[in-house]
Amino acid sequence: MNTLTSPSRIADLLKQWNITGEHSGVSTGSKWLKGNGKLTVSHSPVDGAEIGAVRGADRTEYDQAVKAAQHAFLEWRNWPAPKRGEVVRQFAEELRKHKPDLGKLVSYEMGKSLQEGMGEVQEMIDICDFAVGLSRQLYGLSMHSERPEHRMYEQWHPIGPVAIITSFNFPVAVWSWNTAIAWVCGDTTVWKPSSKTPLCSLVCQSIAAEVFARNNVPEGVSVLVNGNRDLGEWITHDERIPLVSATGSTNMGRIVGAAVAQRFGRSLLELGGNNAIIISDKADLDIAMHSALFGAVGTAGQRCTSTRRLIIHDSIFADFTKKLSSAYGQLRIGDPLDEMNHVGPLIDKAAVDTYSKALATIKAQGGKFLVEGGVLSGPRYESGCYVKPAIAEVTPDMPIVQEETFAPILYVMRYKGGIMEAIAMQNNVKQGLSSALMTMDLREMERFLSAAGSDCGIANVNIGTSGAEIGGAFGGEKETGGGRESGSDSWKVYMRRQTNTINFGSTVPLAQGIKFDLDSARPL
C-alpha cells in the first residue's frame, strides 16, 4: 500500500522526541528506565509495517516507578491547585504545537482516520483547558451545624497515585481525560497504555516531561509503564495505588474491579458498550441517516460508543434500511490518512478473526444480511486488517445481539408499537453506555430521557451515540461499569472527601441532644 504517511516518515516524526529503534517504555518523567520487560513491536494496521519497538517494565522497574509516584505525591499535593493548573495549561499549549504530528501518529499506529486522529489530540487539548478552569473550582460545601457556635464544611484532598489503564481505540485521549483532572486535583499518575499502541504513549510522556522540567515539577508526577497482562495484575493488586481507572472489555473490568475491591481500593471502570439508536416514525430521517452512518462505521466500529443496533419503527423500516444500505455502498475503505476514505482498518488480525466469527454466528442464528461483510484483500489492503462494514437484520432475542463485537457490524430490528416498546428493546442488553433517539416529537423525547426511559449513562436526542464532548461526564451503567470520566463533577473520584466541624464556642455540646455532663452525674 502506498500510504500517505510511510514508516520512514513516522520514524522521522518520532526522532524529534529521541524515540528511535528499540526504546524503553518505562519513565518516571524526565528519566527513562532501561526497560527490562517484554519487547512489544508496534505494527501499523494501515499497511502492516513495523513502526517501532518498546521495552516494557519488569517487576523491579514497576516498583521503582510506583515509588517515584508515591514520593512525588508528597510534594505535588502541596502545590496550590491553580499552580498545578498552570502546568496543565502549558501542557495543552505544547499539544497545540504538536497536534499535526501526534495526530498522524495516532492515525497510523491505531488505524483511525486522520480527521479522527487530529480530533483525538484536540480532545486532549480540550480536557486540559477544562482542567485549568477546574483548578480554581475544587469546591466543597458549607453546612449549618445543629450545635451553637459550630461551623461545618467539607473539603476535597488529593487521593494519591492514580493508575490509568487505557485501550488501543483512543490511545491518547482517554489517558488525558484522567491525567489532566488527576494532576490538577494533586494526584500523581501511573499510565499503562495498550500494548497495541505503545508509541503514542512515548510521545505523550516526552511532551509532558518537557513542560514539567520547565516548571520544576517533581519527578514521578507522570509515570509511564508499558507492559503486558502481568503489569495490569501488579497494578490492580497494588495497595499503594488507591484508584485504578481502567478502560477495556467487560471481562477485563470484572477482574480489575474484583481485585481492587478486595483491597478496598477504588476503581473507575469504562467498559463495553452495545449502543442503540431508536429511529421513530416521527424522526428527521436525514439527521437519523447521518448519525447512524458515522456511529456505525466511524473508527471502523471500534469505539465504545459505536452504534451497534438500530431500532427502527416498522412503518419506515424498509425505506430507511434501503437508503442506509445504499449509503454503505458509497463508503470508501482504505488508507485512513487519505481523507478521501471513510473507513480504515481494524486494529489487528485478531480483531479481523473476531469480526469474521461474528458474521458466521449471525447467519447461524438466522440473521439476514442487508449489506454483506467480508475481509478485503489485494494491494490496497495488504495488512490484512481491512473489512467491509455489514448490516444484518436481526430479532432482539438473538444471542449475538447481546454481545459487543468491536467491528463495523450493525444490527437493525423493528418495533411496531409506541416509544416505550422501543425503549424496552434498547434497554434489553447487559451494557448501558450510550443511547440515542431520533424524533421530532416532544413527548417521545421526554419519555426517552425520563427515569423510565433510557438506562444508559449517555442519552442523546437527534444526535448519534458516538462523539462525546469533554464538558459532560462520560460513562455508563450495568456492565459498562458505572465509572464517570471527563467533565461535570467527575473530578471527585480522584479526590477524598473530608467533613470538618469547628467549635468556636466555650462549651462542648453534643449532636442529637445527647447529654454527658459529669457535674450532674450521681457519685458511684
Report, as residue numbers or ranges, the catalytic residues.
270, 304
Cβ atoms of 8 and 111 closer than 8 Å: no
Cα gap 12→382, rounded to integer Å: 23
CA angle at 347 for the pair 345 and 350, rounded to the nearest 5°: 110
3-state SS assignment for residue 500: strand
The cell for 495 is: 479526590
Half-sphere exposure of 118 (CA within 13 A, CB side): 8
- Quickly tell me which residue has 474491579 as its cell: 257
Cβ atoms of 76 and 218 closer than 8 Å: yes
Q: What is the DSSP letter of 443?
A: H
Half-sphere exposure of 226 (CA within 13 A, CB side): 34
Cα gap 288→265, rounded to integer Å: 42
Cα gap 110→200, rounded to integer Å: 9
At position 205, the amino acid (one-letter code) is Q
Cα gap 231→463, rounded to integer Å: 39
Cα gap 253→493, rounded to integer Å: 17
